[in-house]
Chains A and B, each alone.
Chain A
Amino acid sequence: MDDEPRSVKVLLPGLLLLVGFGVAAELSVSVLGWGTPLIFAVLFGAVLSNTYGVPKSLEPGVDTYKLLLEIGIVLLGASISLSDVIDAGPRILGLTLAVVAFGILLVEFLARYVFGLSGRAPALLATGSSICGVSAVLAVAGTIDASENDIAYATATILVFDALTLVTFPIAGSVLDMSSVAFGIWSGLSMFSTGPVAAAGFAHSQTAGEWATLTKLTRNSLIGLVVLTYSFSYSLGSDKRTSPRTFWNQFPKFLIGFFLVAAIANFPGISTGFVDTVEMISDWLFVLAFVGLGCEIQAKNLRQTGIRPFLTVLLYLLIMATASFLVVQTIF
């Protein structure tokens, strides 16, 4: 964050862009009669950023998409049936722990022993792939003193795969004829950043979007643990000390809001009118956030990605997506 708070006047132009493209995305679905507004929202944002570019004066407002996405996720809690979560929870938690632990070891192995990467780069790629994309890269980078160069490569690689998986996962889910629940959990386990996971899920169906987000949130909740582990392992032999406070500092706090809203919505006697209204607000926030997400997708990231980090993550994704697909199809 910058040092000085931003006024509404600075944020307004970019926010208006998100709203304008969001309304255009909704209209596109009405006029064409197919697709979902979320996909059009991402598409419009990506077209703008890769052609004319996002004007500097709009950037502060467009950057608020991350906050809009998190509010949308908090409100998505209203759509979650706690009994379903309690029923599927242990399986999802077990799968998530396995994916994160195996994923980190796999990327570290591939990066160091197959593609010859050294230093901090394997750790950044491992956390970016197995936990939650760019935010995990930055969280771990801060605790292991990674170089700017390593951070840039890892971030660019994750962003490229966010864009690639956003397109390929919904197609794969459709070709493989996956059920909504299975596709949602598969995307939540295999893809990288939270925004693209939710976008891919909702591109498949509303139910898939809800399960994709829930599964991804479970993965995100492990970020503190992974940062703590990396921080501890890199501090061995150095003067740096790590503490359990690191776990709390890195914990994604909007998860608390998500479960509070889920608790309100599942309270006996809560009307369906409440759930419908909250779902409508959440849907709109997702549309606005996905315009901003589209603005982050830039073809130039592909050129900035080193070939070895790219191949490391590609091989990881192919192995992990195949393994989690087989497990999810068997269990759910």
Chain B
Amino acid sequence: MGNDSMKIQQDLSATSSVSTVHRWWYELERGWQATILGLALSLAALALA
């Protein structure tokens, strides 16, 4: 019973954390999204080169 409750708590916090990140990303201005994704792709290309 105690384990079940702990598992549910963990599941809930995981779900909430994903949705918080998702919401943060969604609310970010498009220009910042483009900057972050562009830099991430550039760094990936730099690592591969």
Contacts and interface: CB of A to CB of B under 8 A. Distances in A.
Contacts of A308: none
A261 B25 contact: no
Interface string A64-99: 001100110111011000000000000000000000
B49 A274 contact: yes
Interface in A84-124: none
A253 interface: yes
A281 interface: yes
Contact of A70 (B19, B26, B31, B49): B31
A71 B48 contact: no
Contacts of A281: 41, 45
A277 B48 contact: yes
A261 B40 CA distance: 10
Given A5-B22, A5-B26, A67-B30, A253 B41 contact: no
A264 interface: yes
Given A5-B23, A6-B26, A274-B49, A264 B31 contact: no
A270 B48 CA distance: 12
B35 A278 contact: no
Chain B contact-residue range equals 20 to 34
A266 B32 CA distance: 22
Given A78-B42, A254-B38, A256-B35, A66 B48 contact: no
B42 A261 contact: yes
B15 to A, nearest CB: 13
B10 to A, nearest CB: 22
Nearest to B38: A74
B30 A278 contact: no
A257 B49 contact: no
B41 A278 contact: yes
Contacts of A78: 42
Chain A contact-residue range equals 20 to 34
A14 B42 CA distance: 25
A330 interface: no
Contact of A71 (B25, B29, B38): B38
Contacts of B31: 70, 252-257
Contact of B34 (A67, A274, A277, A278): A67
A254 B36 CA distance: 9
A260 interface: yes
A278 B42 contact: yes
B14 to A, nearest CB: 17
B33 interface: yes
Contacts of A278: 41-42, 45
Interface of A: 1, 5-6, 66-67, 70-71, 73-75, 77-78, 252-258, 260-261, 264, 270-271, 273-274, 277-278, 281
22 contacts: A66-B30, A70-B30, A75-B38, A77-B38, A252-B31, A253-B29, A253-B34, A254-B34, A254-B35, A255-B31, A256-B35, A257-B35, A257-B38, A257-B39, A260-B39, A261-B39, A270-B46, A273-B48, A274-B45, A277-B45, A277-B49, A278-B41
